[in-house]
A and B are shown apart, each in its own frame.
Chain A
Amino acid sequence: MLTNNDMITVPQAVGLMIMTILEIGLLILPREVAIYAGSDGWILVIVGGLLALAGSLVLSTLIRRFPGETFIEYSGKVIGKFLSFVVGVGLVIHFTLATSIVIRTFTDVTNAFMLENTPREFIIITQMLLTVYLIRHGIEPTARIAEILFPILIVPIFAMYLIAIPKADFTELLPVFNTPIKSMAMGSLNTMFSFFGVEILLMLGPYLKRPDKIYWTMFVSVGVATLIYLFVVVITFVGIGVQNTKMLIWPGMTIIRMITAPGRVFERLDALAMALWTIASFTTANSLYLTGALTAFHLTKAREFKFFISILFPWIYFIASLPPNIIATEKLVYVVKWGSISVGIIIPFFILLLAVILKKKGGTA
């Protein structure tokens, strides 16, 4: 029944994509859009989501064009072996960094809200060991876990944030369209960064059972992720105010601590919120780590990809424990976001462009 043939079905791919996209943004996106556009922030989420959709359109077109081939293989055909190797190395570095900051942000939040005295390194190591244990079994179990955890994450998130509604002040969303176009554009770009994780699609190509359904897969995943982000941003704005959101490091978490259900039935949802946050960051770390190892595996054409998990381990640990404080982590997050745009979207876009111009096409596998 449980097959492990390293092929993922369409629902698994959707689950994997959504769970990869949903992570740090859940907690920090409200602040970022508030700083860029104030009460117009929620518009940025929609525009950013559309941009991310456009980005993933590029990736899926590539997959449709070269079915069954890895990114390294077809980019080698289009831009030459050497350049594709360089891009591949860039991707490995990007995925390593991305895994590190996901794990590091998880650690920071856990330290701030739950385990104040637990050493940071200890949390990093335990989280990483769990991830390694899972992804050593390959892509199919990883996707299956994402598929299973998806409803466990989404349903409570909606239920939990809805409790904030009775105290909400919806005039916080006014005025609408009052931000200069320039900061709207910058903000949308920045919001698109929060969708980092879509670039795992690059590596997923050859493992999809139905590459012909890739457009549908990606449309649903980015769409659902946008809706969830939009929901969280709106609730945070109306729940704790736009100005207040700008000051808080993790507004998505702070709002939980201010929620009281009518009649004080549910008062302290911190533990639930932490559990959900653990799920969100665990699944993201899984897929980013796995994708990093897969990239290295494709790059070297080695026989086993598990070997690369061990190679990446110390690097991820090292980078995750590198930033001295949260503000430094934020800077690293920024680097990863730019990396996501450049190696994840812009370079594939040029490869696609070249492939179209040079009329390169994959076999009809």
Chain B
Amino acid sequence: MNRYKKLLICILSSMLLLVGCWDMVEIDRRLFVGIVGIDTSDEPNKYTFYFSIPIAREIIGGEGGGGGGGGESVGLLTTEAYSLVDAARNLALRINRDIYFEHMRIVVIGEDMARKHLKAILNPFARQPEFNRRSRIAICEGRAEKVMGVTPWTEKLKAEYMDSLYAARAMSGKFIEMDLGDFFRNLNSQNGNILVSKITPNKTEVNIGGAGVIKDFKLIGWLNEEETQGVNFFLGKVRGGDIVVRDIRGEGTETFTILGEKTKLSLKAAEPVPEFLLEVYVTGNIASTAHYITYYRSKLESKDIERMEELISKEIESQILKGVKKLQEDYKVDLLKLGNFLQKHEPALWKTYEDNWEEIFTQVNIDINVSTTIKNIGILR
């Protein structure tokens, strides 16, 4: 009996050491994709895929102080395939490591692609859990290839560079801040219409200002930076950035930095077309004015502050109107979530509008009421 016990203990304790994992892949057998780029291709039903992959060896070498001798720190793989997953499998013929998407930072979709086949390409991102849902998504002006070729000078890794650009929400409201998870969520609740970030490449940097307008899973146009900020103001998403207005005394400009924003949307009248009232409350600081900096020439009085607030409110209102007008008149697509608002707050009314909302949306009246509060004017009067 005792002998069996000893044997049992031996066997059991060896089990502690002999554990393994069926799906184990060592980290040095993996390639971590940072950026996925997608473009159209000449072959029918096939698309061009780009994977930008950081090369760990080169990154470490570079930090060691000039070692490595100028090797590229990011590798680029290109392949033509029917779907994203097919593309990753195609690469198995050429690359000896496993392609791994859990650390994907951004998905860049070429303009042509977004105009024609957006639906087809999005499916695997939603269906397969291996794709990082916190990654960003952007549509590129022109071909995605150009974004893949950008070599930023601030960061070694392109993916890191582009991803951290989107963290600048406190600095600007002129882009769309949205990750893949939010993207799918909004796509679902707005039935295929969505604003998506626009990315414009040049040689050493990209610009993420502006937005792409997607209607029924197709890109139909762009919003410029100002219009994007207007729509962001409308949706209450602005957390930073600035507003530049003409100076109250007639020459030069004043810069107002935004601290935060609150919006309140309400329905004023329902028939025949809905009328909305949007109240926007913006707070922020005066960062610069065009005044002289000596006491006798010019100083700010409280009535000046009030006038400034008025001017800034007007400017914000005009930005919002620009965005709203573009969506209502040019693109005819409800990206202001007015339909969602009706659905949530006036479900009975929404039933009557639901079927031809697209038409009604273009005639909807929106009154905008902006009130700005200046909190700080710096340390100068």
List residues of chain A with CB under 8 Å of any chain B CB: 39, 112-119, 122, 167, 171, 174-175, 178, 240-244, 246-247, 254, 257-258, 260, 267-268
Contact = CB atoms under 8 A, between A and B. Distances in A.
Contacts, number: 55
A178 B43 CA distance: 49
B353 interface: no
B134 interface: yes
A118 B21 CA distance: 9
A77 to B, nearest CB: 46
B185 A240 contact: yes
A112 B23 CA distance: 12
Contacts of A116: 23, 130
A302 to B, nearest CB: 28
8 contacts: A114-B23, A116-B130, A243-B188, A244-B189, A247-B126, A257-B129, A257-B134, A260-B134
Contacts of B21: 115
A243 B344 contact: no
A174 B344 contact: yes
A20 B264 CA distance: 45
A263 to B, nearest CB: 11
B22 A258 contact: no
A174 B179 CA distance: 24
A262 to B, nearest CB: 12
Contacts of A174: 344-345
Contacts of A243: 185, 188-189
A258 B344 contact: no
Nearest to B167: A264
A175 B102 CA distance: 36
Interface string B105-131: 000000000000000000000100110
Given A112-B129, A175-B345, A258-B181, A117 B23 contact: yes
Interface of B: 21-23, 102, 126, 129-130, 133-134, 179, 181-182, 184-186, 188-189, 343-345, 347
A174 B337 CA distance: 14
Nearest to A241: B185
A349 to B, nearest CB: 37
Contact of B133 (A122, A171, A178, A258): A258
Contacts of A254: 129, 133
Given A113-B129, A117-B23, A258-B133, A241 B347 contact: no
Given A39-B344, A257-B133, 20 more contacts: A115-B21, A115-B22, A117-B23, A118-B22, A119-B22, A174-B345, A175-B345, A241-B188, A241-B189, A242-B189, A243-B189, A244-B184, A246-B188, A254-B129, A254-B133, A258-B133, A258-B134, A258-B179, A258-B181, A260-B134
Contacts of A167: 182
Contacts of A258: 133-134, 179, 181-182
Given A115-B23, A116-B23, A240-B181, A247 B129 contact: no
A247 B188 contact: yes
B344 A171 contact: yes
A236 to B, nearest CB: 11
Contacts of B347: 175, 178
Contacts of A178: 347
Contacts of A175: 343-345, 347
A174 B133 CA distance: 26
Given A113-B129, A242-B189, A258-B181, A267 B22 contact: no
> Which of B21, B130, B188 has the largest count of A CB atoms less than 10 A from its CB?
B188
Contacts of A241: 185-186, 188-189
A247 B188 CA distance: 9
Nearest to A270: B129
Nearest to B341: A171
Contacts of A242: 189
Contacts of B134: 257-258, 260, 267
Contacts of A247: 126, 188
Nearest to A122: B22
Contacts of B22: 115, 117-119, 122
Contact of A118 (B23, B126, B186, B343): B23
A244 B188 contact: yes
Contacts of A113: 129
Contacts of A117: 22-23
Nearest to B190: A243
A100 to B, nearest CB: 22
Nearest to A169: B185
Contacts of B184: 244
Nearest to B184: A244
B131 to A, nearest CB: 9
Contacts of A246: 188
Contacts of A257: 129, 133-134, 181
B29 to A, nearest CB: 14
9 nearest interchain CB pairs?
A258-B181, A174-B344, A243-B188, A118-B22, A244-B188, A241-B185, A175-B347, A178-B347, A243-B189
Most chain-B CB neighbours within 10 Å: which of A114, A118, A244?
Answer: A244
Interface centre among A171, A175, A260 (most CB of B within 10 A): A175
A94 B129 CA distance: 32
B53 to A, nearest CB: 20
Contacts of B343: 175
Contacts of B185: 240-241, 243-244
A117 B129 CA distance: 14
A116 B85 CA distance: 15
A363 B378 CA distance: 85
A257 B131 CA distance: 10
Contacts of B129: 112-113, 254, 257
Nearest to A175: B347
Contacts of A267: 134
